[in-house]
Amino acid sequence: MQTAFQKQPGHAETRISIIILAVLVVVAGWVYLRQYHTNPAVVALRPESQIFASSADITPAAVVDTTGSDLIPFSPPEHFGPDTLYEKINGRADLYLSSGYISLNAQRFTLQSAAGNWIEVFAYDMGTPENAFSVYSMQRRDAATSDRSLPDAYRTENALFMVHGQFYLELIGTNADDMLNEAMGTLARRFAESHAGASKAKAPGQDLFPTQDLDTTTRQLITANAFGYEMLDHIYTAQYLIDGTRLTVFVSDRQTPEAASALADNFSQTLITFGATAVDIKPPVANASVLQFFDTYEIIFSHGPYVAGVHEAVDLNHAKIMAKRLAEHLKQ
């Protein structure tokens, strides 16, 4: 009777087995990752995707109550959620969706005395005042004038843009008609009054910057990838004009001193990795990094829960002045 023997694998078999197992692991890993990149046509052809939602849900309430004014609705109110926002603003939807967007109510109004022209009101609910301010500030037009009759608003030839609490508003007129522009102000004020009152609306981040030499129209909240760096999120920026030189200043509340200090260090080290060099001077602010990055200067520091600094300044002396002012302001 022959006895079965457990065959011991040879060296070649072992090596081949390891190679095969390694290939299988790579294949499995590829399949796992590929699952996150489904062909969009596959998604679209799923049964649940074939039910085309109506392009807009009709809400019974007008976006703005125009009772008693010369304004009348020109189209029914439209409502768009995250899944349908693209049906209204197409490629620009991404900006809002990545900034905490909740919903959009839109409606057109016309003047009884000026048929043929209309104003379209876009009222974006961004969830928080910070989110609303972010999309407001990041889309600010260059050729804009502040509207003093509203807490945080600016106008262009044919449009009014406003932030009110968690809402970002765009009021777009068909042309630069004076009557339309006046009507936009009416619509904006009525919206503010009907949403927690205009006096309570205050743009977030307003108190973070010293007011001397501040260009108030340049305040901006960048929610992600500020200055092109992934680590910089929720960064408020503003521009100052000192002796004819424009400077960009940034501040961010990181909640704890430890987080602020860590971010300041991280940002400094990142710039150094990319080629920035330390400037051999006494820092204008305690523990600040003063770096030269090509032909501009960067000053980075933390104070309490805030990380702050001056970004891409062309003049070091102006940057130092601004950094000192900013640090003093944050101490208050």
Partner 1 sequence: MSNPSAPSPINRREFIGRCTRAGIYVAAAGSIGIGFHQADAPRPQMDAATSMLQLPDYSVPAMPGKICIAHGADRATTVRQAFEALGGMKALVRPGERVLIKVNAAFASPPTLGATSHPELVAAVVRLCLEAGADRVIVTDNPINDPASCFALTGIRAAAQKSGADVIIPRDTLFEPMTVDGGRLIRNWPVMVGPLDGVDRVIGMAPVKDHHRSGASMTLKNWYGLLGGRRNIFHQDVHTLIQELALMIRPTAVVLDGTQTMMKNGPTGGSLSDLNPTGTMIVSTDPVAADAAGAALLGRTIADLPFIGKAEQTGAGTADYRSLQFKEIQTG
Q: What whole-number distance in Å separates Cα of residue 302 and Cα of residue 261?
A: 5
Nearer to partner 1, 41 or 281 (CB): 41
Task: Give Cα separations from 182 to 146, 147, 330 (angstroms).
Answer: 14, 11, 39
Nearer to partner 1, 42 or 286 (CB): 42
Residue 139: exposure state from Cβ atoms within 10 A (0-12, 13-18, ≥19): middle
Nearer to partner 1, 87 or 193 (CB): 87
Q: What part of residues 32-61 is at the interface with partner 1 (CB under 8 A)? A: 35, 39-47, 49, 52, 55-56
Which one of the spans 134-142, 180-188, 207-215, 280-288 is the region binding partner 1 (CB under 8 A)? Answer: 134-142
Nearer to partner 1, 23 or 231 (CB): 23
Q: Supply the minimum distance, in Å, between the C-beta of residue 133 and partner 1.
A: 17
Which of 1, 8, 58, 294 touches partner 1 (CB under 8 A)? Answer: 8
Which one of the spans 125-133, 142-150, 249-257, 281-289 is the region binding partner 1 (CB under 8 A)? Answer: 142-150
Which one of the spans 85-93, 194-202, 215-223, 272-280 is the region binding partner 1 (CB under 8 A)? Answer: 85-93
DSSP state of 200: G
- Interface with partner 1 includes 10 (CB under 8 A)? no
Q: Supply the minimum distance, in Å, between the C-beta of residue 248 and partner 1.
A: 19
18 CB-side CA count, 13 A:
6
Closest by alpha carbon to 201, among 173, 166, 177, 228?
166
Strand partners, 251: 236, 308
Q: In sequence order, what DSSP letters do the residues of 235-279 get, joined into one string?
A: EEEEEEEETTEEEEEEEEE-SSHHHHHHHHHHHHHHHHHTT-EE-
- Interface with partner 1 includes 89 (CB under 8 A)? yes
Specify the length of the chain in residues: 332
Q: What whole-number distance in Å separates Cα of residue 312 and Cα of residue 316?
A: 10
Nearer to partner 1, 175 or 317 (CB): 175
Closest by alpha carbon to 289, among 315, 308, 314, 304?
308
- Interface with partner 1 includes 90 (CB under 8 A)? yes
Which one of the spans 91-99, 125-133, 269-277, 307-315 is the region binding partner 1 (CB under 8 A)? Answer: 91-99
Q: What whole-number distance in Å separates Cα of residue 242 and Cα of residue 10?
A: 79
- Interface with partner 1 includes 212 (CB under 8 A)? no
Closest by alpha carbon to 308, among 278, 258, 263, 242?
263
- Interface with partner 1 includes 141 (CB under 8 A)? yes
Nearer to partner 1, 118 or 301 (CB): 118
Residue numbers of the site for partner 1 (CB under 8 A)? 3-8, 28, 31, 35, 39-47, 49, 52, 55-56, 75, 86-95, 118, 139, 141-144, 156-159, 170, 172, 174-176
